[in-house]
Amino acid sequence: MLVLLVGLLVWSACASGPEPLPAEPAPVSASNARPSWPSTRAEAVEETLHGVVVRDPWRWLEDASQPEVQAWMQAQNEHARGELAKRPGREALARRFQELFYVDSISAPTRRGERLFYTRRHADREKAITYWRPVGSPESAAQVLIDPNTLSADGSVSVGQITVSWDGRRFAYQEKVNNADESRLIIAEVEGGARLDTLEGTKYATPRWTPDGSGFYYVYLPDEPGVSVADRPGTAEVRFHRIGAPQAEDALIHARTGNPQTFLGVGLSRDGRWLQVNVWHGWNRSDVYLRDLKDPAAATTWTPVASGQEALYDVQIWEDRLYILTNEGAPSWRVFTADPRAPARAGWREIVPEQPGEVIDGLDIVGGRLAITRLKDATSGLEVRELDGRFVRALTLPTLGASFGLTGNPEDDDAWFSFQSFTVPPQIYKTSVRSGETTLWSEVRVPIDPSPYSVEQVRYPSKDGTLISMFIVRRKDAPRDGSTPTLLYGYGGFSVSLRPTFRASIYPWLEAGGAYAVPNLRGGGEYGEAWHQAGMLDRKQNVFDDLIAAAEFLSREGYTSPERLAIQGGSNGGLLVGAGMTQRPDLFRAVICAVPLLDMVRYHRFGSGKTWIPEYGSADDPEDFKTLLAYSPYHRVTPATPYPALLMLAADSDDRVDPMHARKFVAAVQAATSSPHPVLLRVEANAGHGGGDMIKKSVEENVDVFSFLMGELGLAP
């Protein structure tokens, strides 16, 4: 399923033995002096929308091409970094994050032809390297496929998605400047690395190779004069590229939709017969069309598999059968099979029914069987079934945690799956689909001792009485007297599920005596599509109520107190924490807000904003406007309000969520706050929506984030 990326903070590793809790918590800073920051001029900008006067005094900060805006950003960034550099304990934090992040790890391999491909992170390199070696050969025979460390002297050129042809002879990779979403596609030979072609406009490419490796289908996104950034998604097309031919000759397979609220996707069956096009209408509806490439009469026609329904469809094709994972009539999802020669809905046959209390989170075909991922109370389960749906076995996972499905080829018995939890670093297991024999294949070794910490899952009532689940990680001997500094992390949108995953960066926080909490807010996918829809459009306030209720629960039950509670979120999660701090500033002492949406009246005019209209609505619609204005964090900032300390994280090359949100919100809070707490804007250079992809940048950012949090909440590293 298409998702807005949730991993705003880079995954890392872990830590050594924790230090004992201090007998008394360190005092929270209580200076009454209002901090200073670079001044920001306000303008008397107003517009009337649907009869309502909307003030926008910092609209001038929207245009980053203006020298005055660039100067403002530079001044704010220099001020923020200067203030952060004064925080105590930074050297110790830097050493700890280096220990945690610079570790060796290896991905599960992918077989293509007679070669295995995998990615390895080296403890002495900034970026992961992708290798290949012949099947059955030792590790010493591995050769470099692509090394991002060598693509630019300053590390500003990144590698995105890599796809290898089925015969293992050729590969394509996205080359991205500043780790932005925009990319070009490089096609090269695996043996020797000779470059074959370069394609532009490949932001959404996802190449689907033909069986013989002579070409691939991909999504082309032109950059046309007169088409705004926000309208570009509506110009995407599906094309076919033949290796060695000019891109201008690529055949048009599916025309643009003309609707910037949609995404196009393309798929091709393993045997090259069945071509599939998906049209995604946001994150709660999709259409699927099929074409038989072996039928000359169908060369220009598309047969609908599913179209016009308020449901999502994920279609896998194997040996002339369709396997359809859908939430149509089943919020927790179910699986059908159908004949691609007659794919009309009336001919579908259900083979895996919906199971109340569990969500089918993924479907793959591996080793000639169905591999299904389930979620129960936000924790993962894996099972194998026959192609007719008959249950074969459940895979045993080490404990409650997160896994993301089996990986492997439909025709190969060997498969791999990952496992991790809050206290277990990522592990990869190899399994036989046929026999079920499973062994540990690799694991990330990080210098932590998880034994002093407990992980509990609690439930608390939200404002409307809905019970929300939440994970809490803390020391087993932590008191329940409100004294524990706690970091509350959330997302709540786009059907993204927050599982109990490993996050190395929280270990210095835990070791210093802090706690970490992750609620499964509405808007996510942890409890199915109904849970998602309960937190979108005119129900978005439910998500913010769920966060606020989590904070109230943590304080009421003695886990922490408002003076020792911080919230963190990025992207849609940045909207979440922005809403939290503007609706209930009294509940939080500090806020980490990363690459956020915050001006919800104008968000759809910037970046990829129009693609999110099905999730949020649009201020162009009178009813949506009322909802958006009511919670828009930028418009909720109120003068003379004692706001929490704010560290805003922005990226200069973010082409997904425009950094104008961060700039305008920081200016508004700096002008309005009556508290003595800092309001800082940190701008990451040469970085996109997911941040920079070099480990040293992750170390630097985490030192800034956690020295800020520790200073504000009274912890010493």
Q: Which residues are catalytic?
A: 571, 689
CB neighbour burial string for 688-709, b if at least 16 within 10 angstroms, e if fewer? bbbbbbbbebbbbbbbbbbbbb
Q: Extract the tokens encoding 4.
A: 């807005």
First to last CA, the chain: 40
Q: What is the pairing mode between strands 334-338 and 427-432?
A: unpaired
Amino acid in position 64: A
For helices 622-631 and 541-556, give the axis angle rounded to 10 degrees.
20
**Contact (CB, 8 A) for 434 and 413:** yes
695-713 vs 67-85: helix crossing angle, rounded to 10: 70
Per the CB < 8 A criterion, the answer to whether 616 and 602 are in contact is no
Quote the tokens at residue 528: 């199915």
Q: Give the strand order in the sheet containing 438-443.
A: 414-419, 427-432, 438-443
Please give the Cα distance from 430 to 414 (Å, whole number).
7
Strands annotated E in 577-687: 590-594, 645-651, 679-684
Cα 382 versus chain centre, distance: 22
User: Cα(282)–Cα(311) distance, rounded to whole angstroms?
Assistant: 11
Q: Which helix (H) or strand (E) holds 82?
A: helix 67-85
- b/e string for 30-39 if b means 16 or more Cβ within 10 A? eeeeebebbe
Evaluated on CA atoms 177, 180, 183, 186, the torsion sign reads positive
**Alpha-carbon span 392 to 610, nearest angstrom:** 43
Instruction: Please give the Cα distance from 554 to 584 (Å, whole number).
Output: 15
Residue in the block written with tokens 């399994």: 431
Task: Identify which of 505, 643, 571 has the alpha carbon closest to the alpha carbon of residue 15.
Answer: 505
Beta bridge partners of 198: 186
Structure token digits, residue 86: 């004064």
| CB crowding 155-192: b at 16 or more within 10 Å, else e | bbbbbbebbbbbbbbbbbbbbbbbbbbbbbbbbbebee
Q: Are 113 and 167 in contact (CB under 8 A)?
A: yes
- Decide: 591 and 584 in contact? Cβ < 8 Å: no
Angle ∠(30,32,35) on CA atoms, nearest 5: 105
DSSP one-letter code for 309: -
Place of tokens 């690459």: 595
CB 394, CB 385: distance < 8 Å = no
Amino acid at 56: D
Beta pairing class for 105-106 and 115-121:
antiparallel
- The rounded distance, in Å, linking the Cα atoms of 702 and 101 is 11
Q: Which amino acid is at 694?
A: M
Q: Which two tokens stand for residue 208?
A: 């689907």
Query: Three-state DSSP class for 130?
Result: strand
143 beta partners: 132
